[in-house]
A = this chain, B = another copy of it.
């Protein structure tokens, strides 16, 4: 797995979606999860999932935060290097985490947080340096709209199914999920695809026309293979 993770660090989320389409998988990009505060980062790691349902006023109160099934309990269970993926049902009017919880996630070595919901306390969260992909910010806390119900269960996030231990990769084009069984395939094919794209960019820079080039016809495939050998 470590080798695959290392390979994935050099493969864009765009390329990963193209590799997954070869396997018939279209639902792999987490809608709504965009870089928060600090663009330009890339993360790779296995998913640690969190699940929210809508608020019920008798349960989702400030007091609920000290119950055993709470986001606090979940955070203390997060392994180093994981990518936390939170199913906030796309709710954008209550922030699932603020600075204090993000700071604790950094202490625990969490690699990143990905959600189809939003954060709260933008300045504080950005200051913790935790890499976050989300759909914006809101002032109210999660208990305003959401009830936390568990962790490391299958979840929905941004139109995707996410299972614990699926591989998550995120960059400035958003976050994608790779089914565990396809990680090695994507890592291997993706590296090759990145190489092809490098060659294509050079060809287009030289003035090449697109038809026959991208995707390459037989002649161009041969030229690409020769270029690859000469590198």
Contact = CB atoms under 8 A, between A and B. Distances in A.
A56 interface: yes
Contact of A107 (B75, B92, B204): B204
A100 interface: yes
Contacts of A214: 65, 72, 100-101
Nearest to A166: B56
A152 interface: no
A16 interface: yes
Contacts of A14: 95, 98, 120-121, 139-141
A174 interface: yes
A59 B16 CA distance: 19
Contact of A139 (B173, B179, B200): B173
A217 to B, nearest CB: 7
- A contact face: mostly helix, strand, loop, or mixed: mixed
A115 interface: no
Given A156-B54, A215-B63, A29 B174 contact: no
A73 B103 contact: no
A66 interface: yes
A109 B181 CA distance: 40
B55 A161 contact: yes
A151 to B, nearest CB: 13
B215 A62 contact: yes
B159 A154 contact: no
Given A54-B156, A58-B179, A29 B89 contact: no
Contacts of A95: 14, 173
Interface in A90-143: 92-93, 95, 98-101, 103-104, 107, 120-124, 136-141, 143
Contacts of A136: 34
A72 B217 CA distance: 13
B204 A104 contact: yes
Contacts of A209: 76, 104
Given A14-B95, A207-B107, A215-B65, A29 B138 contact: yes
12 contacts: A12-B121, A18-B141, A23-B58, A25-B56, A25-B58, A34-B136, A53-B155, A54-B160, A65-B215, A123-B172, A137-B172, A139-B173
